[in-house]
């Protein structure tokens, strides 16, 4: 940390980055790095919960994913943040024979995140600055406000007495600012699991000690497109056709696509495991022209392996950031089944999404009334910011900006800790 931040006192508040895919907690203090170790020496905690039915316990993070993949009976829930702003948030689901409200699910994970942060820090905390996307919900101010209020209520329910919020790209900017030696005009691009958010902000060593930075923030914009959407489009384009998407019934009608869309979307995977869906699929299988493909789908549903396939898809997306092709081992669905996914086909599938993200970059420039050539630096963070097609689109829009890659999973959390110090001071 630089001299604008404390060296002799703990901040009274911590920063919490509750992410769609991963979460972090950070705290300005004189004893250790701001980002706290949350699981197995790592500063990230995957935003996942597994309700283990065999051993009647609840697991979080990497352990949740591991127990699910090891084959324990139970229910895996991931992409929890996607519930905020959706119609599901006031609903409920069934977990191991018990009714679980979705608000209680969020409280379970955020409460665990709080406990782990306190354990790592060695002290309790009741005040926090939470990160939030520029828009939880696109083009709906009332729904967006309700999503923030819901997150605040859940956080307070698990013991955070005082909660405030900071836009995630602004938090990332505060973290980047610690490295600067001169003033820069920066466009921050945070490509997270559920949203892509952008801010244009003036940063400098002289400005960073100020408690109030509103005048430095020139514009914010965001769109509800993120890493899970890129996963979904990769799955629908290159993996779900192996299970029958796009194939025909004997009546020449298409096999219903709703099953595949639900399997390709993290927070709707569990909806495919109902008895009603299983009975429907028996009828579809009998009428299918390509029964081998539907047999793979039935195997997937029978084994409740939808999250396993989603994890394979996510790993393929990551691999395609640095390779032209990636081979998936799908032997779980059919012995010896290997399938190559191609970066060229992936980029074709996500081109429209990338275009929408590009339009959002253009919009934030327009809102700031700043020509693209005046941007000194494009600072990128977020787990999906490494996608090659996105980087190309950014380069086209900001051809003169220096590209700086932040800590893809830690910049926001560390920046929220800085915001927490400035907002609440030591204590």
Q: What is the tens place of the pLDDT at every residue in 186-198?
A: 999 999 999 999 9
Q: Please report the pLDDT score of residue 267 as a whole number.
A: 83
Residue range 157-171: mean pLDDT, rounded: 96
- pLDDT interval class at 208 (50, 70, 90): confident
pLDDT at 5 over 90: no
Sheet with 74-78, side-by-side order of all strands: 57-60, 48-52, 74-78
Instruction: Copy the structure tokens of residue 141.
Output: 């101010």
For residue 341, what are the β-bridge partners?
326
pTM of the entire structure? Answer: 0.90
Q: What is the tens place of the pLDDT at every residue in 246-261?
A: 999 999 999 999 999 9
pLDDT at 124 over 60: yes
- How many degrees, rounded to 5, is the angle at CA 82 between CA 81 and CA 85? 100
Residue range 56-84: mean pLDDT, rounded: 93
Reported as half-sphere exposure (CB side, CA atoms, 13 A), residue 63 has a value of 11
Q: Please report the pLDDT score of residue 3 as a whole number.
A: 43
Element (H, E) at 240: none
* Residue that is written with structure tokens 């999503």 in the block: 147
User: Taking the CB of residue 79, how many other CB atoms lie within 10 A of it?
Assistant: 23
Q: What is the tens place of the pLDDT at every residue in 361-404?
A: 999 999 999 999 999 999 999 989 999 999 999 999 999 999 99
Provide the 3-class DSSP secondary structure of residue 222.
strand
Dihedral of CA atoms 402, 408, 410, 413 in degrees, nearest 10, equals 80
Residue range 263-267: mean pLDDT, rounded: 92
Number of alpha helices (DSSP H) and beta strands (DSSP E) in the chain = 12, 17
Q: Please report the pLDDT score of residue 62 as a whole number.
A: 97
pLDDT at 119 over 60: yes
Q: What is the tens place of the pLDDT at every residue in 331-343?
A: 999 999 999 999 9
Q: What is the tens place of the pLDDT at every residue in 399-411?
A: 999 999 999 899 9
- Pair 129, 165: CB distance under 8 Å: yes
CA dist., res. 224 & res. 216, Å (int): 25
Q: Please report the pLDDT score of residue 281 as a whole number.
A: 97
Q: Please report the pLDDT score of residue 212 as a whole number.
A: 76
Q: Please report the pLDDT score of residue 139 as a whole number.
A: 85
Q: Please report the pLDDT score of residue 210 as a whole number.
A: 75
Domains of the chain: 14-180+407-424 (3.30.420.40), 228-347 (no CATH)
CA dist., res. 272 & res. 166, Å (int): 36
Q: Please report the pLDDT score of residue 63 as a whole number.
A: 97
Provide the 3-class DSSP secondary structure of residue 108.
helix
Q: Please report the pLDDT score of residue 2 as a whole number.
A: 44
Residue range 296-322: mean pLDDT, rounded: 95
- Pair 20, 192: CB distance under 8 Å: yes
Instruction: Copy the structure tokens of residue 228.
Output: 């899970």
- pLDDT interval class at 6 (50, 70, 90): low
Chain centroid, CA 165 distance in Å: 17
Provide the mean pLDDT of the chain. Answer: 93
CA dist., res. 415 & res. 203, Å (int): 13
- Pair 355, 196: CB distance under 8 Å: no
Angle, helix 343-368 to helix 306-320, in steps of 10 degrees: 80
Residue range 171-191: mean pLDDT, rounded: 95
Residue range 10-18: mean pLDDT, rounded: 94
CA dist., res. 333 & res. 327, Å (int): 15
DSSP-derived letter for residue 380 is E
- pLDDT interval class at 9 (50, 70, 90): confident
DSSP-derived letter for residue 235 is I
User: Cα Rg for the chain, rounded, in angstroms?
Assistant: 22
DSSP-derived letter for residue 163 is E
- Pair 343, 324: CB distance under 8 Å: yes
């Amino acid at each position: 940390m630089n001299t604008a931040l404390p060296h002799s006192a703990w901040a009274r508040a911590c920063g919490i980055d509750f992410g769609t895919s991963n979460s972090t907690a950070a705290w300005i203090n004189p004893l250790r790095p701001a980002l706290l170790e949350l699981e197995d020496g790592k500063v990230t905690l995957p935003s996942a919960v597994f309700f283990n039915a065999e051993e009647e316990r609840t697991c979080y993070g990497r352990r949740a994913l591991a127990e699910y993949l090891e084959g324990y009976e139970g229910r895996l829930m991931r992409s929890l943040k996607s519930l905020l702003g959706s119609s599901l948030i006031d609903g409920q689901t069934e977990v191991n024979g018990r009714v679980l409200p979705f608000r209680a699910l969020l409280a379970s994970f955020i409460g665990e995140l709080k406990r782990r942060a306190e354990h790592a820090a060695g002290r309790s905390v009741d005040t926090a600055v939470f990160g939030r996307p520029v828009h939880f919900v696109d083009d709906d101010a009332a729904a967006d406000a309700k999503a923030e209020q819901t997150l605040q209520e859940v956080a307070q329910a698990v013991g955070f007495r005082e909660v405030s919020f900071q836009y995630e790209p602004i938090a990332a900017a505060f973290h980047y600012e610690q490295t600067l030696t001169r003033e820069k005009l920066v466009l921050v691009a945070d490509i997270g699991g559920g949203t892509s958010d952008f801010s244009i902000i003036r940063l400098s060593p002289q400005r960073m000690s100020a408690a109030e930075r509103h005048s430095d923030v020139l514009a914010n914009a965001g769109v509800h497109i993120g890493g899970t959407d890129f996963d979904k489009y990769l799955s629908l384009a290159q993996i779900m056709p192996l299970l029958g998407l796009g194939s025909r019934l004997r009546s020449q009608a298409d096999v219903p696509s709703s099953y595949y869309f639900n399997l390709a979307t993290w927070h709707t995977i569990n909806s495919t495991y109902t008895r009603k869906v299983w009975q429907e699929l028996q009828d579809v299988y009998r009428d299918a022209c390509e029964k081998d493909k539907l047999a793979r789908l039935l195997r997937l549903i029978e084994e409740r392996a939808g999250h396993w396939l989603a994890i394979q898809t996510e790993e393929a997306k990551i691999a395609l950031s640095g390779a032209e092709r990636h081979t998936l081992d799908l032997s779980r669905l059919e012995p010896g089944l290997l399938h190559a996914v191609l970066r060229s086909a992936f980029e074709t599938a996500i081109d429209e999404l990338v275009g929408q993200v590009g339009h959002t970059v253009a919009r934030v420039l327009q809102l700031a009334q700043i020509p693209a050539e005046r941007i000194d630096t494009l600072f990128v963070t977020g787990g999906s910011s490494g996608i090659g097609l996105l980087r190309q689109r950014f380069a086209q829009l900001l051809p003169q900006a220096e590209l700086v890659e932040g800590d893809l999973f830690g910049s926001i959390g560390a920046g929220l800790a800085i915001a927490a110090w400035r907002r609440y001071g030591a204590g």
